[in-house]
């Protein structure tokens, strides 16, 4: 294995990376709080990055509003807020590198072509809501116009499978064969927008992010991102995926399902709710006191003998049953 893991002992750099497609809701605050606490407990830096490449879905003013929401609960970035829409040259360079190495190729297929091909084996790509790309354009476009650009999903050594094994600090050992589960995924869409997977990998590497703490809904993207990191020759961060907040009907809270924006008339109460999801028994009557106590809780977990994987938000119910308050 010649993978470059993040250099041990490198200064901690974490990030929170929301999409400005709406305001933060209770679920996104859990991920923001966890990433902020992990950075603070490690004495590291915490960055905020706006994932605003999907311009048709962006909402005017949402980026500024999100920063204001974070500010209202005492979470402030160490450095300027970065916007992906201003970093397109970086993604273009990464794409050119992959193309030059024969890892990316143009695809002429329309959405309709892909529906008609529908070659996905039963069960593959399940839950992702999209069929596995059948590889139609791998052998060239045969005169058709280029629409998108796809990654040739193979192991770094060029053999057929692309199994990625990785370890999540909360979920433990994970694996995915990206070729089977996802297939040749899109790096640049037909509308010219760079895909989330590529932009995230380029940004995390360029910003020196070596600890990714984010919601569990993104755990499924991790294998694709690690594959891209290997192909681009950049370091792989450590990953921690936080529990999702569910609505009363069990569905994941999201902007798409109409989750209501964070209630900020009582910021401390809002923070406490996010802390409950993470199983934090933090105390305090002001934001500053509560956050300081929560950092203490988080540090305590990091120092637990079971190690990093189990020490963090392993089971919110179990943690909530704790009787000893945090420092
Ligand atoms: Zn194609």
pLDDT digits (tens, 9 = 90+) for 169-209: 989 999 999 988 999 999 999 999 999 999 999 999 999 99
Question: Among positive and negative, which fits the CA dihedral 155, 161, 165, 171?
Answer: positive
Higher pLDDT, 137 or 309: 137
How many angstroms separate the alpha carbon of residue 258 from the centre of ligand 1?
34
- At the top level of CATH, the class of 89-188 is alpha beta
How many angstroms separate the alpha carbon of residue 74 from the centre of ligand 1?
47
- 116 exposure class (CB count in 10 Å sphere: 0-12, 13-18, 19+): exposed
Residue 66 structure tokens: 């999100």
Residue 42 φ/ψ, nearest 5 degrees:
-95, 0
Residue 324 structure tokens: 């000893």
Which residue has 């809904």 as its token pair? Answer: 217
Q: Which band of pLDDT confidence, cut at 50, 70 and 90, is reported for residue 253?
A: low
How many angstroms separate the alpha carbon of residue 123 from the centre of ligand 1?
22
How many angstroms separate the alpha carbon of residue 92 from the centre of ligand 1?
20
Residue 194: which residues within 8 A CB-CB, separation 6 or more?
A: 53, 88, 91, 92, 95, 187, 188
What's the rounded mean pLDDT across residues 292-301? 92
> What is the CATH superfamily name and number for domain 14-86+245-320?
HUPs (3.40.50.620)
How many angstroms separate the alpha carbon of residue 192 from the centre of ligand 1?
15
- The ranges assigned to domains in the chain are 14-86+245-320, 89-188
pLDDT of residue 321 exceeding 60, the answer is no
Higher pLDDT, 258 or 21: 21
pLDDT of residue 60: 94
Angle (CA) 259-263-265 rounded to 5° is 165
Residue 241 structure tokens: 């995926």
Q: Which band of pLDDT confidence, cut at 50, 70 and 90, is reported for residue 296?
A: very high
pLDDT of residue 141 exceeding 80, the answer is yes
CA distance 307 to 96: 40
**Which DSSP string corresponds to 119-172?**
-PPTTTTTTTTSPPP--GGGG--TTPPP-EEEE----TTS-S--EEEEEETTTE
Q: Whole-model pTM?
A: 0.88
How many angstroms separate the alpha carbon of residue 124 from the centre of ligand 1?
19
pLDDT of residue 245 exceeding 80, the answer is yes
How many angstroms separate the alpha carbon of residue 90 from the centre of ligand 1?
25
**Average pLDDT over all residues of the chain:** 86
Percent of the chain with pLDDT over 70: 81
How many angstroms separate the alpha carbon of residue 149 from the centre of ligand 1?
9
CA distance 151 to 195: 11
Residue 297: which residues within 8 A CB-CB, separation 6 or more?
A: 280, 281, 282, 326, 327
- 118 exposure class (CB count in 10 Å sphere: 0-12, 13-18, 19+): exposed
pLDDT of residue 309 exceeding 60, the answer is no
């Amino acid at each position: 294995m010649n993978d470059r893991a993040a250099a041990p002992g490198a200064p901690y750099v974490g990030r929170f990376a929301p999409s400005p497609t709406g305001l933060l809701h209770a679920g996104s605050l859990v991920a923001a709080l966890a990433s902020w606490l992990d950075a603070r407990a490690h004495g590291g830096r915490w960055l905020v990055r706006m994932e605003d490449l999907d311009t048709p879905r962006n909402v005017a003013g949402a980026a500024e509003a999100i920063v204001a929401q974070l500010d209202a609960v005492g979470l402030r970035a160490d450095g300027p807020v970065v916007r992906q829409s201003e970093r397109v040259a970086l993604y273009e360079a990464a794409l050119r590198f992959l193309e030059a190495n024969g890892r990316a190729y143009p695809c002429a297929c329309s959405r309709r072509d892909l529906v008609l091909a529908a070659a996905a084996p039963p069960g593959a790509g399940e839950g992702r809501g999209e069929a596995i790309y059948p590889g139609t354009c791998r052998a060239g476009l045969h005169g058709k116009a280029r629409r998108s650009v796809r990654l040739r999903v193979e192991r770094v050594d060029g053999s057929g499978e692309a199994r990625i094994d990785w370890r999540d600090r909360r979920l433990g050992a994970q694996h995915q064969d990206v070729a089977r589960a996802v297939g040749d995924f899109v790096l640049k869409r037909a509308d010219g927008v760079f895909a989330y997977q590529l932009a995230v990998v380029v940004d995390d590497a360029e910003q020196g992010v070596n600890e990714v703490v984010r919601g569990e809904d993104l755990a499924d993207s991790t294998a694709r991102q690690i594959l891209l990191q290997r192909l681009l020759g950049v370091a792989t961060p450590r990953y921690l995926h936080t529990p999702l907040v569910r609505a009363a009907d069990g569905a994941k809270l999201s902007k798409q399902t109409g989750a209501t924006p964070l209630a900020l008339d009582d910021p401390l109460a809002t923070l406490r709710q996010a802390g409950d999801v993470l199983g934090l028994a933090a105390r305090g009557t002001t934001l500053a006191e509560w956050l300081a106590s929560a950092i203490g809780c988080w540090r305590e977990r990091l120092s637990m003998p079971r190690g990093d994987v189990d020490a963090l938000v392993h089971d919110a119910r179990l943690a909530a049953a704790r009787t000893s308050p945090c420092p």
